[in-house]
Amino acid sequence: MKPSRFLLLILIWMMTMKSRGADLPGTWEVLVENAGIASMHTVVTHFNTVVLLDRTDLSPTEERYQKYHCQIDPKNKQDPQTRPDCYAYSVYYDLANQNLQPLTINTDTWCSSGQVLPDGTILQTGGDNDGIKKIRKFSPCETTSSSCDWEELKDIELAEGRWYATNQILPNGSVIIIGGKAEVSVELFPPRHGGGVVSFPFLAEAVNDQMDNLYPYVHLLPNGHLFVFANNKSVIYDYTNNIVLKHYPELEGGPRNYPSAGSSVMLALTPDMESGVYSSATILVCGGAQYGAYKDMNTSVPAQSSCGRIVATAKNPVWEMEEMPVGRIMGDMVMLPTGDVVIINGAQAGSQGFEQASKPCLSPVLYQSDEPMGSRFMTLAPSSVPRMYHSTANLLPDGRILVAGSNSHAYYNFSTKFPTELKVEAFSPTYLSPWNKIMRPTIEELPEKINYGETFDIVVSGELPVVFGYPEVNMASAPFATHSFSQGQRLVKLVVLSRAIVRLGTVRFECLAPPDRSVAPPGYYMVFVVKDGVPSVAKWVQII
């Protein structure tokens, strides 16, 4: 091709990109046109597969949508123990080849909670109706073609029914299950010796006349205690002795949890590079509905645009307030491998609940947590798909964000405003743009398992800029994403001790594993090498 012709083509390409709004950073792609279900709960597994899970009370007698996969004997309509319909409510999705495999769930998982156990098994608890006390497990298999499926435990159930609870894995590998509709208590899985429920009066202190204390934001602090946030109140909770150790100041600006939820993350846990000690944790809470929007069922009340940020481990911490570019309810906050945060999905007005919101937030925003206040937010490229109530967002091992779900109706409805969404999309932050490719490190070697407090080696290759100096080595958990909060989400930055050239373009770095189980509870993590803001594709490691 003649150079002049080539330049002309480039010019035309740039003009078309411009007219598509490509001047905002980031790109969107559709991964699956029809996943069969709208995912209300989403988890990425250490086999690079994804579990999509909806509720099961979407009665098939309603005109719902085309039959997906018939897994249950359709003649067995009368047996209440087996779902009398032929619809899948959970799907196993393979990122490598886009295969979808329907999974079996019989009891109702509506608005439930979950966590990934140290061996990679997904633990899912509660729901509604016949599922409110159910405990279920899913042990992922390597591909969607092998047979793995949900197991609904028969010999054990929750002590209390839990609908809209939050789960968090604990340093010893047990899972705490906190709250739920009209539940002022916590319990553990496996259950505490002697069984039972422990009362947690904080949830009653936080409630108001439209609830606003459901799906509390729970973060495991590096000191081993829990930061729990509900409505506008928050505490440090010592779950071993069942005592509240500290009350934080109330966060101004209105309620922040279901049915008025914004979202929350704990910012990347960062060690002191000299001592390797993780002493500080910062919590961020962004957006939410205005008080009354839910109660009045008013879909046009503008959402809150404020964020509160607090150093939870400080002696006398106060909330530092910041403003997002637009108000947002039902946003999902995703920790990127870099330590920045993407706030994605949701709406600009109304509240959570069926038909309760309007004005979708199509543009995600980037929160650059290390920038000075006032220059942390950046608006990103918009999607064309509204992701309203019951949508999810999860970090993928390749650095993209998986976006699924959206169903703000009592049943599947494809012929209404904000139709039930079966499309699965991926958003690529700018670190994945073509001109960053040269900066992208590749992990050549990483142990499969690492031990607390021990050093381990990671071998990294790349173009010359990549292998000069020191990269960051950051570990990301795989959370259980639902209702604008990713339960168990955490990013841990590691100390990188030394470097040695293996050969031209390949370097071995010695890293220090997290010191203990409070910094990183046992389980599988995605390890990313990040150089000048550009992450590698992650490799999974199990910390034990």
Ligand X SMILES: *[C@@H]1O[C@H](CO)[C@@H](O)[C@H](O)[C@H]1NC(C)=O
Binding region for ligand X (CB under 6 A): 62-63, 170, 172, 174, 188, 192, 208, 231-232, 239-240, 250, 252, 296, 298, 300-301, 411, 413, 415-416
Q: Give whichever of 259 and 271 is closer to ligand X, judged by the CB atom.
A: 259
Task: State how far the alpha carbon of 306 is from the alpha carbons of 218, 342, 348, in Å.
Answer: 20, 15, 13
Cβ contact 83:56 at 8 Å: yes
Which of 384, 463, 454 minimizes the C-alpha distance to 421? 384
Q: In which residue are the tokens 């959370």 written?
A: 479
Of 171 and 447, nearer to ligand X (C-beta) is: 171
Please identify, using beta-carbon distances, which residue of 250 and 323 lies nearer to ligand X: 250
Least distance between ligand X and beta carbon 248 (Å): 11
Q: Which is nearer to ligand X, 58 or 281 (CB)?
A: 58
Backbone angles phi, psi at 358, to 5 degrees: -145, 175
Contact of 113 with 70, CB cutoff 8 Å: no
Least spacing, CB of residue 440 vs ligand X, in Å = 40
Whose Cβ is closer to ligand X: residue 276's or residue 302's? 302
Minimum CB separation from ligand X for residue 264, in Å?
16
Bridge partner list, 526: 476, 540
Query: Shortest distance, CB of residue 405 to ligand X, whole angstroms?
Result: 18
Q: Is beta strand 539-543 parallel, antiparallel or unpaired with respect to 449-450?
A: parallel
Contact 215, 483 (CB under 8 A): yes
For the bound state, the minimum distance from the C-beta of residue 382 to ligand X, rounded and expressed in Å, comes to 24
Amino acid at 206: A
Q: How many C-beta neighbours within 10 Å does residue 133 have?
A: 16
Beta bridge partners of 486: 481
Peptide bond into 74 cis (omega under 30): no
Contact at 8 Å (CB) between 456 and 505? no
> Nearest Cα to 509, choosing from 469, 544, 449, 464?
469
Least distance between ligand X and beta carbon 130 (Å): 23
Which burial class, exposed, middle or buried, applies to 8 when counting CB atoms under 10 A from its CB (0-12, 13-18, 19+)? exposed
Rounded to the nearest whole angstrom, what is the least distance from the CB of residue 417 to ligand X in the complex? 7
Q: Which is nearer to ligand X, 174 or 461 (CB)?
A: 174
Q: Which is nearer to ligand X, 63 or 457 (CB)?
A: 63
**In whole angstroms, how close is the CB of 238 to ligand X at the nearest point?**
9
Considering the complex, what minimum distance in angstroms separates the CB of residue 349 from ligand X?
8
Compute the least distance from the CB of residue 191 to ligand X, in Å.
Answer: 9
Residue type, 543: I
Residue bearing tokens 């990127």: 336
Minimum CB separation of residue 59 from ligand X in Å reads 10
- What are the residue ranges of helices labelled H in 209-337? none
Nearer to ligand X, 232 or 282 (CB): 232
Cβ closest to ligand X, residue 240 vs residue 455? 240
> Quick check: 315 and 280 in contact, CB under 8 A?
no
Strands 27-32 and 424-428: antiparallel
The token pair that represents 457 in the structure block: 């080696």
Query: Bridge-partner residues for 309, per DSSP?
Result: 284, 320
145: left (phi over 0), alpha (psi -120 to 50) or beta: alpha
Residue (62 or 370) nearer to ligand X, CB: 62
**Which residue's CB is nearer to ligand X, number 113 or number 144?**
113
